[in-house]
Amino acid sequence: MSKEEASAKGYQKFDIILVTGDAYIDHPSFGVAVIGRSLEHAGFHVGIIAQPEWKNAEAFRKLGKPRLFFGVTAGNMDSMVSHYTPSQKKRHNDSYTPGGASGLRPDMATIVYANRCKEAFPDVPIVLGGIEASLRRFSHYDYWKDKVKPSILLDSKADILVYGNGEKQAIEIARRLSLGENIKNIQDIPGTVVKVKNVPAQAIMLPSHLHVSEDKAKYSEMFRILTFSNDNMVAQPVEHWYILQNQRCVYTQQDLDLVYSLPYQRIPHFSYIQPIPALATVRHSVQTHRGCFGGCSFCAIYFHEGKRVISRSEETILQEIQSITQCKGFGGTIDNVGGPTANMYGMDCKIGWCSSRPSCLFPQICKNLIITHKAWLELLQKIRSMGSVKNVFVESGIRHDLFLADKPQYLEEFCKHYISGQLKTAPEHCSNRVLHYMRKPPYSLHKEFQKRYAEIAKKIGKKQYLVPYFMSSHPGCDTQDMISLAQEIKSLGHFVEQVQDFTPTPMTLASCMYYTGHDPLTKEEVPVARTLQQKKCQRAFLQSQDPKNYDILCKALNDASRQDLIGKGPKCLIPEKKPGTGSPHAFSKKRKR
Domains along the sequence of the chain with CATH:
3-194+240-245 (3.40.50.280)
pLDDT digits (tens, 9 = 90+) for 162-192: 999 999 999 999 999 999 999 999 999 999 9
Has residue 592 got a pLDDT over 50? Answer: no
pLDDT of residue 218: 98
pLDDT digits (tens, 9 = 90+) for 482-540: 999 999 999 988 777 777 999 999 999 999 999 999 999 999 999 999 999 999 999 99
Has residue 586 got a pLDDT over 70? Answer: no
Has residue 589 got a pLDDT over 50? Answer: no
pLDDT of residue 588: 43
**Rg of the chain, C-alpha, whole Å:** 25
Which sign does the torsion angle of CA 188, 192, 198, 203 carry? positive
Could you tell me if 489 and 540 are in contact, meaning their C-beta atoms sit under 8 angstroms apart? Answer: no
pLDDT digits (tens, 9 = 90+) for 132-143: 999 999 999 999
pLDDT digits (tens, 9 = 90+) for 43-64: 999 999 999 999 999 999 999 9
pLDDT of residue 112: 98
Cα separation, 154 vs 126, in Å, equals 12
pLDDT of residue 584: 46
Helices (H), 350-472: 374-384, 400-404, 408-417, 432-438, 443-460
Has residue 102 got a pLDDT over 60? Answer: yes
pLDDT of residue 1: 75
pLDDT digits (tens, 9 = 90+) for 351-363: 988 878 899 999 9
Ramachandran region, residue 585 (left: φ > 0; alpha: ψ -120 to 50; beta: rest): beta
pLDDT of residue 581: 56
Could you tell me if 112 and 56 are in contact, meaning their C-beta atoms sit under 8 angstroms apart? Answer: no
Name the pTM for this structure.
0.94
Has residue 4 got a pLDDT over 90? Answer: no
Could you tell me if 223 and 215 are in contact, meaning their C-beta atoms sit under 8 angstroms apart? Answer: no
pLDDT of residue 477: 97
Cis omega (within 30 of 0) on the bond before 570? Answer: no
Average pLDDT of the residues of the chain: 94
pLDDT of residue 356: 82
Q: What percent of the chain has pLDDT over 70?
A: 98
Has residue 563 got a pLDDT over 80? Answer: yes
Question: DSSP readout, 200-242?
Answer: -TTPEEPPPHHHHHH-HHHHHHHHHHHHTTTTS-EEEEETTEE
pLDDT digits (tens, 9 = 90+) for 257-272: 999 999 999 999 999 9
Cα separation, 514 vs 316, in Å, equals 42
